[in-house]
Amino acid sequence: MAAFSLPRLASRGALSGIIALYTFYALAPFVWLATMSVRTTGEISLNHYAWPKPFHWEQFRSAWVDSDFATYFWNSTVVVVGAVIVVTLIGAAAAHCLARFQFRGNRLIYGILFSSIIFPPQITLISLYQILVDYNLYNSLLGLTLVYISLQLPLTVYLLEGFFARIPQDLFDAAKIDGYGDLEIFWRIALPVGMPAIATTLILNFIQLWNEFLFAVVLITDPEKRTLPIGIRAFMGDHFQDIGMIATGVMISVIPVIIVYVFFSEKLIRGMTAGAIK
């Protein structure tokens, strides 16, 4: 970074150069992937870096219909949406209670729920496999959903507790005087007021679970039940040379994330980096 000690003009130039280079480095692989997703494997093997001409949009149709990516997509959707809704509800309830009420054991419960955020996944993985087999939940989307709920619970409680704790107590006191019960206060006051934070956790949990690989690969072996990450990985194992179709499948898995990102980039970034900023 010697550029910083050079005269101002040169340092401006160097800065722009670095920024341009880094932007290329950060984005080029993704753009490359996007171009390959609309080219056939034959075209790609002739030249891996050419611009698509023509755009083979039918690649998406055949990935969706002929290569089972639709099945994987819907499995992912069912598991992730289910887990995200449930984890948000029970996480918000716990966070509200921990932020609002003083009772013996409050910090202990918070510590217990939060501590598992540092657990290496293997410590639960092997037994979860055994447990799900015992309860006939192995190879089932319901089993995977339950595991996903437990995976995202610590982060959800952590993010929401911090937010709920900052809601002014007066709001709750007023509601109490108006005759609201504790459950009503949660449902009618805390949840709506906490919506910005809840939206952030919804988006964050969605993206993390949408991308989850390790637990899915252990707990799901049935091809019919595969989620997108393990479906793509399995497809790649079977059709190693079919680069065009792999790229199309990968794009199908990335599109929902990009859509969420386009609309909620601020919220998402804030959620992901919450707790790291001091």
Q: Interaction with other proteins in 187-216: which residues (CB under 8 A)?
A: 207, 210-214
For residue 276, the tally of other CB atoms under 10 A from its CB is 6
- How many residues belong to the site for other proteins (CB under 8 A)? 92
Binding mask 213-242 for other proteins (x = CB under 8 A): xx---x----------xx-xx--x------
In the 3-class helix/strand/coil scheme, how is 70-108 assigned residue by residue?
HHHHHHHHHHHHHHHHHHHHHHHHHHHHHHHCCCCCHHH
Q: Which of residues 32-91 bind other proteins (CB under 8 A)?
A: 32-33, 48-49, 90-91
Binding string, 107-136, against other proteins, x = CB under 8 A?
Answer: --x--xx--x-xxxxxxxxxxxxxx-x---
Contact between 246 and other proteins (CB under 8 A)? yes
Does 149 bind other proteins (CB under 8 A)? Our answer is yes
b/e sequence 130-142, b meaning 16+ C-beta within 10 Å: eebeeeebbebbe
Euclidean distance between CA atoms 90 and 92, whole angstroms: 5
Q: Which amino acid, one-letter code, is at 211?
A: N
Among 35, 60, 77, 182, which residue sits at the site for other proteins (rule: CB under 8 A)?
A: 182
C-beta separation of 44 from 243 below 8 A: yes
Which residue, 12 or 61, has its beta carbon nearer to other proteins? 12
Stretch in the footprint of other proteins (CB under 8 A) among 57-65, 66-74, 192-200, 254-262: 254-262
Is residue 21 involved in binding other proteins (CB under 8 A)? no
Q: Is the peptide bond before 120 cis (omega within 30 degrees of 0)?
A: no
Q: Which residue, 53 or 266, is less far from other proteins as judged by CB?
A: 266
Contact 76, 227 (CB under 8 A): yes
Query: Which residues have a Cβ under 8 Å from the Cβ of 270 and sit 6 or more positions away?
Result: 200
Closer CB to other proteins, residue 20 or residue 195? 20
In terms of CB distance, is 64 or 261 closer to other proteins? Answer: 261
Q: Does 257 contact other proteins by CB under 8 A?
A: yes
**Which of the 8 DSSP states describes residue 222?**
-
Q: Does 15 bind other proteins (CB under 8 A)?
A: yes
CB of 71 vs other proteins, minimal distance in Å: 17
**Percentage helix, strand, coil for the chain under 3-state DSSP, each rounded to 5:** 80, 0, 20
| Spatial distance between the Cα atoms of 170 and 176, rounded to a whole number of angstroms | 10
> Is residue 102 close enough to count as binding other proteins by CB under 8 A?
yes
Binding status of residue 150 toward other proteins by CB under 8 A: yes
